[in-house]
A and B are shown apart, each in its own frame.
Chain A
């Protein structure tokens, strides 16, 4: 088997397809490295300006008074990731900011200016893109004629006339394709990484090394799946040209058809209420509260904090906040569910599966946003407790909590340094593993199943 493996690898290495693949990968990885360095620098500088304004606004509000600090709505924006060169996880098209105050986490948004609406949607030239597009294609190109090609050149019968099992031949071909793909990928990825590290913006940490290692394992898994499909097309047909056509059909299905039908699936199979309906529900809840509000609840033309109407207004405003939160939280949960279920549909494609696992490994994309969203809710309750403690200590405060006005709670200034700050915590290894596990399972089982199918078909293959 070693001999066959060696022969297959050498055969691949000396082939024209290896040279062209290497040139293609080197070219794209090179362009990706320079573009990433330039783009990441600009993104970081934009983020830093926005972040300093966020900090400054918080400091000013704290110096003004604790109630202003608590009721002012802030937009927390996610920092561009330093490991985005591995996988940007389409973060520029996902919500990347959350609006909150001490009273609530209100909404999320894709902060304007994150992507140019006049540019066609595109992937960044990162490692995940290269793997999803080029590695998957190259793997098929190295395997589509592994059996049918040898049959055509009459070498398969000759090989099988020796004392070697069909399983060993197939496995050697399988392994050789994986080894060839790794030999193609490693120099190109190494070049890309060297340029990015030399640019000095991305530090080489242990965490990054681990992420790179796990990512490469995922690439191997993708290559293994695609190689299994390549072998499958090779054993299911008698001519390499037909194998090639089948391989290309499968590749197109995985690269173009399944991932690009996601929006259609989401809207057709998992529809959610539209924003107009949600707004109508909120308006109806507000109308109901207004109708039942005691007279004078909306009177507000006084800065006297102890004006009795302030208490009435604070109560109704609080009820409105709770009513809106209830409706919106259900709406957001439905959005998350719609997105997650649609992703499960696209798990039909090993390339989509790879992308979902990859985003979990780098701690980006949707799992990252969900973690920030959940963490922000925890922080908001801490922030609210902090504010309520301050208010409780102020004898001049009427303690009538109003989430939108700075009238009827404490007017004391706060030391900016003691205000709890929200900081994004990177996803832990456990979080990442949980996000990737189901996809990993599907992908591994899929690869094994297709390989076994190829094996069964190869055992029954007529080599004459």
Chain B
């Protein structure tokens, strides 16, 4: 009997304008979202390849360890085609520095090269599915009892030996049967587009996740079908039911997700980024002072002349052509400064973590408020399934922080802060005294450094004085005299592991809530229909 009723409902619905229009909406919107997001994913992949090449080149084309700062480029998530989550709002590059722990990834966001495009919002498959599936479920469910009551057919049906439970089950299955082809079409169409797209390659992991997303979509659809049934069973006329359903739809789909983010933004404060930058800058200044004081305590001069020097941030110093004494001073200085830099990175991490935690807390609050709506729940679950949520991002960043520790251990194991390889590619045995260097560079015109400096002090044109000791280029004066450093033994970053179950533990709660909502709404609908006055 249930099957008979379901079949009748299905055939009735199939002939209605709402089925045709609903199917057309999916036919237009789903390809639209999939194509847009495939193009976006292709752009991200192109950018990833460019960034990876640059990062790889930067590691290969260095001569000293102080310039070795590997950059992690996070691979774009293929499932972002279905749910973008926060993937378009965060960068994909993490520079591993010894003086800072990775906090937020740098790099381009979805706005790309034009920051003004950041004010445009974008839509993905999951958002379109959340809008369209819920609308269709409500449109097929709003008059499930009221229409038959208005037509007078409900009385006739119930005058037979047909229980209300069976009638309800038959009608619910009928709606589900009607909507199932539309949902299957949406997923199949997306799968076909992805299969034929040369820009996307899905592995078993991604296909498994899409299957999971399909099952969650069914649960989401069921929630709205039961909601429609409940509203229909509690309304006296189809018009009332329709108006209620539409307002419930707008409230759950458009208002709650937006309100949740806005309320969280207003009432859950985030620490000021300017303030964090100030605190970190103060610590950096303190680091400089501490370094200078410790170097002074070791009787090391503050300034030092340098023949060829390339200074950079995070302790980068590449130098050539100096006297042995100067090289020694530089090495002693870095053996003080670099361990201190690592120590200060740990100190800076405390305020940075507080800031990061405040960002995460705010997003969690928004997420929890949005779970009032089944659409909010669906989005949260989908982002988790597609690994584009804050947790997946934080997991990547945590891996990056762990990799930094591994990288520092790698440097320490080489005792690199006490090695000339940190600042120069020139072997220590090739270092010469200043007198020897002046004699070589002046072509023998000056025998000692003292002789040259006494002469230079009398000159008005300092550039001309400098040219006197640049007549002859000694071997080892320039970086090009040395080959690139081989860092094949450097540990490489391993991204987070991808298994079907990984990262899903966090979505267990929202999935449970969605299922409980299903059961609860069905129970309410059932009770409401049992008490429904069919006259």
B113 interface neighbour in A28, A53, A239, A275, Cβ under 8 Å = A275
A211 CB to closest chain B CB (Å) equals 21
- Asked whether B122 lies within 8 Å of A94 as measured between CB atoms, the reply is no
- Asked whether B463 lies within 8 Å of A24 as measured between CB atoms, the reply is no
Whether a CB of chain A sits under 8 angstroms from the CB of B342 is no
User: Per-residue CB proximity of B114-128 to A under 8 Å, as 1/0?
Assistant: 111111111100011
A134 interface neighbour in B121, B250, B359, Cβ under 8 Å = B250
Using Cβ atoms and an 8 Å threshold, which residues of chain A touch B273?
Answer: 112-113
A307 to B460, CA, bound (A): 9
A151 CB to closest chain B CB (Å) equals 15
Using Cβ atoms and an 8 Å threshold, which residues of chain A touch B50?
Answer: 276
- Asked whether B32 lies within 8 Å of A261 as measured between CB atoms, the reply is yes
B466 CB to closest chain A CB (Å) equals 7
Whether a CB of chain A sits under 8 angstroms from the CB of B212 is no
Q: How many residues of A contact B (CB 8 A)?
A: 86
- Asked whether B122 lies within 8 Å of A260 as measured between CB atoms, the reply is yes
- Asked whether B462 lies within 8 Å of A299 as measured between CB atoms, the reply is yes
Query: Chain A: which residue is nearest B376 at the CB level?
Result: A120
Whether a CB of chain B sits under 8 angstroms from the CB of A273 is yes
- Asked whether A256 lies within 8 Å of B250 as measured between CB atoms, the reply is no
- Asked whether B257 lies within 8 Å of A90 as measured between CB atoms, the reply is no
Using Cβ atoms and an 8 Å threshold, which residues of chain A touch B244?
Answer: 16, 20
Name the interface residues of B1-50: CB closer than 8 Å to any CB of A: 17-18, 21-22, 25, 29, 32, 36, 39-40, 43, 50
Which of B22, B89, B266 lies at the interface centre, i.e. has the most chain A CB atoms within 10 A of its CB?
B266
Name the interface residues of A104-131: CB closer than 8 Å to any CB of B: 108-113, 115-125, 129
Using Cβ atoms and an 8 Å threshold, which residues of chain B touch A381?
Answer: none
- Asked whether A38 lies within 8 Å of B266 as measured between CB atoms, the reply is yes
A241 to B246, CA, bound (A): 12
A110 interface neighbour in B115, B122, B258, B272, Cβ under 8 Å = B115
Whether a CB of chain B sits under 8 angstroms from the CB of A262 is yes
- Asked whether A267 lies within 8 Å of B86 as measured between CB atoms, the reply is no
Whether a CB of chain A sits under 8 angstroms from the CB of B508 is no
Binds B, one of A165-173, A242-250, A317-325, A433-441: A242-250
Using Cβ atoms and an 8 Å threshold, which residues of chain B touch A239?
Answer: 17
- Asked whether B120 lies within 8 Å of A122 as measured between CB atoms, the reply is no
A272 to B263, CA, bound (A): 36
Given contacts A119-B264, A302-B462, contact A262 B120 (CB under 8 A): yes
Query: Chain B: which residue is nearest A141 at the CB level?
Result: B246
Using Cβ atoms and an 8 Å threshold, which residues of chain A touch B363?
Answer: 116, 118-119
User: Per-residue CB proximity of B182-193 to A under 8 Å, as 1/0?
Assistant: 000000000000
- Asked whether B115 lies within 8 Å of A242 as measured between CB atoms, the reply is no
Name the interface residues of B114-166: CB closer than 8 Å to any CB of A: 114-123, 127-128, 131, 135, 139
- Asked whether B21 lies within 8 Å of A246 as measured between CB atoms, the reply is yes
Whether a CB of chain B sits under 8 angstroms from the CB of A452 is no
Whether a CB of chain A sits under 8 angstroms from the CB of B317 is no
Binds A, one of B104-112, B198-206, B343-351, B451-459: B104-112
- Name the prevailing secondary structure of the B interface residues: helix
Using Cβ atoms and an 8 Å threshold, which residues of chain B touch A398?
Answer: none
Whether a CB of chain A sits under 8 angstroms from the CB of B261 is yes
- Asked whether B43 lies within 8 Å of A266 as measured between CB atoms, the reply is no
A446 to B113, CA, bound (A): 33
Given contacts A117-B104, A241-B18, A267-B43, contact A17 B29 (CB under 8 A): no
Query: Chain B: which residue is nearest A304 at the CB level?
Result: B462
B258 interface neighbour in A95, A129, A365, A366, Cβ under 8 Å = A129
- Asked whether B463 lies within 8 Å of A296 as measured between CB atoms, the reply is yes
A261 to B123, CA, bound (A): 7
Using Cβ atoms and an 8 Å threshold, which residues of chain A touch B114?
Answer: 266, 272, 335, 338-339
Whether a CB of chain B sits under 8 angstroms from the CB of A93 is yes
A39 interface neighbour in B90, B266, B466, Cβ under 8 Å = B266
A274 to B118, CA, bound (A): 15
A161 to B254, CA, bound (A): 42
- Asked whether A272 lies within 8 Å of B113 as measured between CB atoms, the reply is yes
A241 to B245, CA, bound (A): 13
Using Cβ atoms and an 8 Å threshold, which residues of chain B touch A110?
Answer: 115, 118
Using Cβ atoms and an 8 Å threshold, which residues of chain A touch B121?
Answer: 121, 259-260, 262
Using Cβ atoms and an 8 Å threshold, which residues of chain B touch A261?
Answer: 32, 36, 122-123
A141 to B245, CA, bound (A): 12
Using Cβ atoms and an 8 Å threshold, which residues of chain A touch B258?
Answer: 122-123, 125, 129
Using Cβ atoms and an 8 Å threshold, which residues of chain B touch A296?
Answer: 463
- Asked whether B267 lies within 8 Å of A38 as measured between CB atoms, the reply is yes
Whether a CB of chain A sits under 8 angstroms from the CB of B434 is no
- Asked whether A35 lies within 8 Å of B117 as measured between CB atoms, the reply is no
Which of B18, B40, B89 lies at the interface centre, i.e. has the most chain A CB atoms within 10 A of its CB?
B89
Whether a CB of chain A sits under 8 angstroms from the CB of B362 is yes
Query: Chain A: which residue is nearest B24 at the CB level?
Result: A249
Given contacts A21-B247, A256-B131, contact A117 B90 (CB under 8 A): yes
Whether a CB of chain B sits under 8 angstroms from the CB of A293 is no
A260 to B50, CA, bound (A): 27
Given contacts A38-B267, A123-B258, A133-B255, contact A309 B116 (CB under 8 A): no
A339 to B111, CA, bound (A): 11
- Asked whether B116 lies within 8 Å of A335 as measured between CB atoms, the reply is yes
Using Cβ atoms and an 8 Å threshold, which residues of chain A touch B485?
Answer: none
User: Per-residue CB proximity of A270-300 to B under 8 Å, as 1/0?
Assistant: 0011111000000000000000000110010
Using Cβ atoms and an 8 Å threshold, which residues of chain B touch A49?
Answer: 272, 274-275
Using Cβ atoms and an 8 Å threshold, which residues of chain A touch B104?
Answer: 117
B462 CB to closest chain A CB (Å) equals 6
A109 to B273, CA, bound (A): 14
Using Cβ atoms and an 8 Å threshold, which residues of chain A touch B478?
Answer: none
- Asked whether A116 lies within 8 Å of B267 as measured between CB atoms, the reply is no
B36 interface neighbour in A256, A264, A309, A365, Cβ under 8 Å = A264
Using Cβ atoms and an 8 Å threshold, which residues of chain A touch B86?
Answer: 117-118, 120
Given contacts A113-B270, A113-B274, A259-B121, contact A119 B366 (CB under 8 A): yes
User: Per-residue CB proximity of B251-288 to A under 8 Å, as 1/0?
Assistant: 10011011101111111011011111110000000000
B175 CB to closest chain A CB (Å) equals 16
Given contacts A113-B273, A241-B17, A262-B122, 15 further A-B contacts (CB under 8 A): A16-B243, A35-B266, A42-B266, A113-B276, A117-B86, A117-B104, A118-B390, A120-B85, A252-B131, A256-B128, A257-B29, A257-B123, A299-B462, A309-B462, A342-B117
**Please, could you name 14 A-B residue pairs with CB atoms under 8 Å apart, sorted by A?**
A20-B244, A31-B263, A53-B274, A121-B89, A122-B258, A125-B262, A134-B255, A242-B21, A256-B127, A260-B120, A261-B123, A264-B39, A272-B113, A338-B114
